[in-house]
Amino acid sequence: IGRTALRSALRTPTSARLFSSSAASNRAVAVLGASGGIGQPLSLLLKNDPLVTQLRLFDVRLAPGVAADIGHVNTPAVTTGYSPDGPEGGLEKALEGAEVIVIPAGVPRKPGMTRDDLFNTNASIVRDLAKVAAKVAPKAHLCIISNPVNSTVPICREVFKKAGVYDPKKLYGVTTLDVTRASTFLSGISGAKPSETIVPVVGGHSGVTIVPLLSQAAQGSSVQAGEQYEKLVHRIQFGGDEVVKAKDGAGSATLSMAYAAAVFTNSLLRALNGEKGVKECAYVESPLYKDQGVDFFATPVTLGTDGVEEIHPVGKISSEEEKLIEACVPELKKNIEKGVSWCAENP
């Protein structure tokens, strides 16, 4: 889902990309937090995406330098860097006319921390960026990467609601890395190509709220029930911890996340440009578990010219997966409520 165009964009020779007719529409994409571990490689991948025509890079540090560097890549996206006191202007300038805003701003985990431990720092960073987005680019599509995603996405909803510009079809928590990991780990067991190993991952983006639906993958049956299944589920749910541990205090996943966010952004742009049937898993406002107090839930979503076009149900799942969802829902509810009540106290 959604990877083919990015992959072929990455493979297409530069000269062909320069004259690519696929950049049918004028698409301005802003990255907030563009100088960070995710922000830099993500910005580079977006510069390499023929569907991006303008690339606005904002960060509290270094963004003009990152933009000057990336801007030398000979692809069409016109790249500009913005910093709070830079000559190009600050955040408001960066967001003027932006159609897609991708937010990886905020601090990453260190070993021993949960994503929720980032809440105190990242909640206010995301709230403040969302406030300016609601004012300057109220119709833009907002793709949230900053953790804890389960809470930062509801925070954005509250900010946009307060500004009177909330559109549930245009707010996404980016959970593509979970889908990417599930595909990689399962194909490592089954031997099938990762590109043909599609595992829907539903729920949220932390620990037990990450629910891989291996029973829906064509290769799912290559995983034996019992210990092998449990190990694989655990690896998908705690893949982030694996990277945090390996980086040993230097942060969390950045490069695989940049790849995943570039895939998601490319899918969104293709859908905005009118391509039919573009489907990605994303954490969006969803009716599926609202009766259990869960307003946001990731499932496969069909994207269209206005954003979320159709939210697909979880579908047929195994009894193991039913148990995983039972564990996910109360935790997700807590994370969402935390974001919403924090916003009420810290408008």
39 binds, among ligand NAD, ligand LMR, none (CB under 5 to 8 A by kind): ligand NAD
Helix%, strand%, coil% for the chain, nearest 5: 50, 15, 35
Q: Of 72, 205, 234, 312, which is the active-site residue?
A: 205
Q: Does residue 98 touch ligand NAD according to CB under 6 A?
A: no
Interaction with ligand LMR in 112-171: which residues (CB under 6 A)?
115, 147
Q: Which has the closest alpha carbon to 125: 33, 257, 49, 211?
A: 33
What are phi and psi for residue 285, nearest 5 degrees?
-65, 125
Q: Does residue 86 touch ligand NAD according to CB under 6 A?
A: no
Q: Pick from 174, 213, 301, 303: which binds ligand NAD (CB under 6 A)?
A: 174
177-195: burial string, b at 16+ Cβ within 10 Å, e else:
bbbbbbbbbbbeebebeee
Q: What is the dihedral of CA 191, 193, 196, 199, to 10 degrees?
A: 50
Q: Does residue 3 touch ligand NAD according to CB under 6 A?
A: no
* Residues 230-249, mask of contacts with ligand LMR (x by CB under 6 A): ----------x--xx-----
Grouping H, G, I as helix, E, B as strand and the rest as coil, residue 79 is strand
Q: Does residue 281 touch ligand LMR according to CB under 6 A?
A: no
Is residue 222 classed exposed, middle or buried when 0-12, 13-18 and 19+ CB atoms within 10 A define those classes?
middle
72 annotated active-site? no
Least distance (Å) from ligand NAD to the CB of residue 254?
5
CA 266 to chain centre: 11
User: Annotation-wise, does 61 bind a ligand?
Assistant: no
* Residues 36-75, mask of contacts with ligand NAD (x by CB under 6 A): xxxx------------------xxxx--------------
Tokens of 321: 């997966």
Q: Does residue 220 touch ligand NAD according to CB under 6 A?
A: no
At position 315, the amino acid (one-letter code) is: G
Least distance (Å) from ligand NAD to the CB of residue 246?
14
At position 181, the amino acid (one-letter code) is: R
User: Annotation-wise, does 145 bind a ligand?
Assistant: yes
142 binds, among ligand NAD, ligand LMR, none (CB under 5 to 8 A by kind): none
Give the footprint of ligand LMR on this chain (CB under 6 A): 108-109, 115, 147, 177, 240, 243-244, 252-253
Mind telling me the catalytic residues? 205
